[in-house]
Amino acid sequence: MERLSWDQYFMAQSHLLASRSTCTRLFVGATIVRDKRIIAGGYNGSIAGGPHCSDEGCYMIDGHCARTIHAEMNAILQCAKFGESTDGAELYVTHYPCVQCCKSIIQAGIKSVYYAKDYKNHPYAEELFRTAHVYVKKVPFDKVIELKQVNNTAQ
């Protein structure tokens, strides 16, 4: 059996999280990892208890959905809520982070960002990551995970 690499394993988690997204414009998932251990996950969605884009539509301001909290921010905020340090952590995200998420990632002390898909990669975000010495690597998620049903003849 071929095992997933660590990068593929954590990226798979981010893609699974993306399936929970409630903003219909883009399904994004993010996983924060420290010492090969998942410490938080997030997806694009509304504030807790708030209306979802999938139910009421996107609330657009200047071409952006104001109703949605980005996956990266949701994961970082989950760490803050539950007292888990992000200093020196790694982030796996389905899409390249926007400028605002980039700044939050840097301020949270995250040292590595792995992303699967390019999405409006902004030159300023790239510059900020370089200036802050955040390692950024594209890790395409191309593994197909097959779930094989075991035929149990002992029934």
| Lowest-pLDDT choice from 3-7, 84-88, 117-121, 142-146 | 142-146
What is the pLDDT at residue 3?
84
Each residue of 11-44: b (16+ CB within 10 Å) or e? bbbbbebbeebbbeebbbbbbbbbeeeebbbbbb
Nearest Cα to 107, choosing from 123, 129, 122, 126?
129
β-strands 135-138, 112-117: how paired?
parallel
What is the pLDDT at residue 147?
40
Mind listing the pLDDT tens digit for each residue in 112-127? 999 999 999 999 999 9
What is the pLDDT at residue 151?
37
What is the pLDDT at residue 155?
41
What amino acid is encoded at 66 in this protein? A
Question: What is the rounded radius of gyration, in angstroms, for the C-alpha atoms of the chain?
Answer: 17
| Lowest-pLDDT choice from 30-44, 90-104, 134-148 | 134-148
What is the pLDDT at residue 145?
54
* Active-site residue list: 72
What is the pLDDT at residue 142?
74
Q: What is the mean pLDDT of the chain?
A: 91
Mind listing the pLDDT tens digit for each residue in 78-115? 999 999 999 999 999 999 999 999 999 999 999 999 99
Alpha-carbon torsion angle 92, 17, 3, 154, nearest 10: 170
